[in-house]
Structure 1
């Protein structure tokens, strides 16, 4: 902000210009012309073909040929593509192509795996064996536990092929994370650990020593206070929480074990594998039929690890920027209290003021309140908590073969490591093959769509490769500033649109505000199947 302007434009001025441009443009896809969010022209060419709309839909299909002019689509789920290293973007792209354009089409149209044609190609809904939506409320009793008689009457839960394989890839990702970090970074981690006691400090550490360090008792006090509040919730409100005290301690142990390997993947690739699936799986096996307990266990296990990684990321930035450690700690502590309080208030306010929030069937096509992430969260609580993994991924379900993905994930990094050892001349680029990133490339799908990925990979490739290669000075000077400006402009205009227009019911209704026109993309392709809104084949 205090940079002197000479011949080139200052970062501050560039940020302001880019922010104004992003802010001004977002009114077009965000309100005036929402169809620009997903330009799926293949659906326009084939308005009556289910298969072609499945192929061309950017939101509910493979997204072949789909385009977007909306930055929120590019950066909403995967973050800004401008801040990821090119090799990480390439790994994500490879994993995405192999899964979405390789495994999925073959399994769906050629093999009809798990009776895939009975269900939509891309969906995070839960279905009965006949392809109808599963009535979840019918199998839940007053204590939010499963009613086995109602469950047996309605039948087993079925998933779309995309949703099922996504869980399999999640199994592989967490196993690959452990083996990849052990093989490629195990020796270095051990050496760094030993050097931390007797090694010479680097220049950053020497400069930071002029500040007072954070006393250890600050961390211990915060840990004890957090654990005490959590234990009160699990014991005093045990009927509402459903999670026993030992479940809380187990969740903390899992977060502690996985924080280091996942932090290594985050530090080297800017991609963070999640613990959501493995935490749900573990407690689902131990406490089936209790969805609230499963959700709480996932939050304590997965989110504790995720917040720890974010905490380390912030401290690393503060270390390089020479920010006093105590100031960093206090800012993070206060920020956490403020953010959690604001999030709770805003969520409560939205639930009480937005009609039919999260009810996609009751909302207009262009409504932003469809809650795709919350929908997946709810389905996960049903799959892992209410019904339990034994009835879906175990011997009582259809998808027990997906457990082999654990072995695939564990062995994938071993193969890459052996190739790197066997071909030392090519070890440099071989080591850039990151199996946790490749296997976990589509971890955000669903709720992310194919268009989110294709747009993210395209923009990331252009900026990370061409701009970096031919305008390296521009990259170092303006790249991260541009990323922040794009995000900021969209965020500010999005808030302004809601309070000034949509909250008052001022919605536009014309051809450009009615979605991507791929209504048939959510239809199954099985012959003779009756589904509302879909033609009978």
Structure 2
């Protein structure tokens, strides 16, 4: 875009660092931007050091140890900026095309036993392949003598090299399939559980409003949640490394892409087996196989403890999945400090789930071991519409006649841990990061942040604040129209409260995500507040949560991409325009795909258990929360069955306080990368759906972050992220094809014949 660059840029910036040879002699070494693997940096677990990191550099055998975000900026990510164009015709076209693919896959997984996202690195590599083809297979404009032809071909980027910045822009657009997802999920819930369809005008305005509110917040808070060096957004780091490797080291591309192609082909062929031909490969359990001839009661217990290949089957202890669609490459990229906390959470999760069920807490044995549905007192599925009037509001007379709904013990535990995690998140950020947050904010405002990537971006014009203000006004007015004229049952003042709640929580979520690459669920607090301010209105609660939760979700997602833009030197104003377009495009395509799936798979999505292919668990959970919080006084008050759930928020606040106090008394504990918010999250995150992947993810994490990263850093840096992206891509392409060709997403189902590896019951042969 014209006017983006205000001063000339050097073609290459090389970071020089000191290193010592085996004799202790200090020498100068370069980490060239073209190949970050030359020095084989070792990434070490970070402690609770906050945003600022440690200025003292550390080396092991001549290699810089990447301990924190400042080390990442200095040694792992190049500051090179070639000044190449970013917002091009080619980047927009490629991004738009691949958004369709990502939207379809994203929505497919909303209706599957485990909800996962499309691999961003896979989309990134697909865009690269097609971008390179665009450059090499199109004619050079200079060959044409006619001026208007030459200008047209140049505008269409014919014969021009595919640069890193337009690659980033196209990949950002392509990954927007997850934007606006919360709003589309509510539309699906209305169709499934309320027998009503939202008007087209309401859907358009609501989607526009929901998609932009979170975007505005991310832009306003970027000085805190993007610019500081410690805001690494670790789960996106593989993308940045891959962007630079692909564009700054062209000679190595052929060999890398060959390995990528082999891995993708292998994953595609293999995925046919666990997903279609041999579902048993999605849940290998010695205990399940050993129990096949046991009495029914024994098999039932084994299924709850060791089963996990089917939706809501069991906890999947020592059950290993070979189905990569559920494992995914995120466990190849999450830092070790994050994964250690998740493992601690699992240690809590197993005994808690079993203890609650077999102690018959909350009448647990009267209902399924795992399910997110609501149940009547007699154990049958609770009908949502049986207690609602024609406007979607609770009818107290009907409620008295039908009786209160019940939750499974696993669901109550899931809700409770969500509140624990949120309380812990708020307290943890305040206690451990408040001081550094204030320093980082002041440094960013004065343009004195020490991060070299931040300094390198100062040459580009910032996005004026009035751009964000205008965007917010448009989104806000659209939301006002929807709540005032639409069928949401959410009043305007409730809509305003939802935005304020989302704006309050979003900075905490962004900070945790930036530091650890993961976050905590925020839907529960939104449902709680919605129930308090709109009692008896579950639909209002759903829309309240959509705005507040989507503000948080998009703030995290877009802050994540702003960090990618900072690392790859995409101008601020280009990122603004691209993110607005991507957010609206992704939400619109999600809405179209949702309609297709809900129409064709309605019956199985309404089933409280589902099967190994389709499951309405995610939407059931969201709706169950909305219904129960709409009658919060009867469900969650001190005299009600589930009073422990809201108290979890208060209890969670004390975990970081205790942690902080112990660190003060025993300073050595600071070396342990403990984060109670993440522990609480994973102590209940898998309270529904498929669980056979959990132990496989642990194995993948140990292999990648403990063995490869520490023992074979050269292999880790060159191939860890690349092969992970290929495995994601191969599996997701096959799932996309199978879903519509054989698994019924298009309406026609063609299941594989039943045999031992594809049993009629649970795939792992438990129960």
TM-score normalized by structure 2? 0.63
Indicate conservation of the 8 Å contact 2:374/2:381, yes or no: yes
Alignment correspondent of 2:751: 507
Matches within 5 A, 1:89-488: 89-100=339-350, 102-109=351-358, 111-198=359-446, 200-201=448-449, 202-237=451-486, 240-354=487-601, 356=603, 358-360=605-607, 365-366=611-612, 368-385=613-630, 388-395=631-638, 397-429=640-672, 432-442=673-683, 444-488=685-729
Indicate conservation of the 8 Å contact 1:251/1:301, yes or no: yes
Query: Whose Rg is larger?
Result: 2
More helix by share: 1
Alignment: residue pair count: 507
Distance change >3 Å, CA 498–CA 399, structure 1 → 2? closer
CA distance in structure 1 between the partners assigned to 2:752 and 2:262 by the alignment: 29
Q: Does 1:516 align with 2:762?
A: yes
CA distance in structure 1 between the partners assigned to 2:460 and 2:401 by the alignment: 66
Deviations, residues 128-163 of structure 1 (Å, cap 9, x unaligned): 333333233322222212222232223222211111
Alignment correspondent of 1:56: 306
CA distance in structure 1 between the partners assigned to 2:609 and 2:374 by the alignment: 18
Indicate conservation of the 8 Å contact 1:38/1:515, yes or no: no
CA distance in structure 2 between the partners assigned to 1:112 and 1:372 by the alignment: 23
Alignment correspondent of 2:334: 84
Give how far 1:185 is off.
0.5
Give how far 1:301 is off.
0.3
- RCO greater where, 1 or 2, for CA within 8 Å and sep 6 or more? 1
Distance change >3 Å, CA 324–CA 447, structure 1 → 2? farther
Alignment correspondent of 1:68: 321
CA distance in structure 1 between the partners assigned to 2:285 and 2:374 by the alignment: 26
Alignment correspondent of 1:29: 274
CA distance in structure 1 between the partners assigned to 2:278 and 2:342 by the alignment: 30
Unmatched tracts of structure 1, length 5 or more: 522-537
1:39 alignment partner, one of 242, 262, 284: 284
Deviations, residues 197-235 of structure 1 (Å, cap 9, x unaligned): 346344212321232322222211111111111100011
CA distance in structure 1 between the partners assigned to 2:635 and 2:421 by the alignment: 20
Alignment correspondent of 1:524: none
Residue aligned with 2:603, SS: coil
Give how far 1:21 is off.
1.6
CA distance in structure 1 between the partners assigned to 2:719 and 2:727 by the alignment: 12
Indicate conservation of the 8 Å contact 1:170/1:443, yes or no: yes
Distance change >3 Å, CA 501–CA 120, structure 1 → 2? closer
Give how far 1:520 is off.
7.8
TM-score normalized by structure 1? 0.88
Indicate conservation of the 8 Å contact 1:274/1:302, yes or no: no
Deviations, residues 154-199 of structure 1 (Å, cap 9, x unaligned): 3222211111111111111111111100111011111222223346
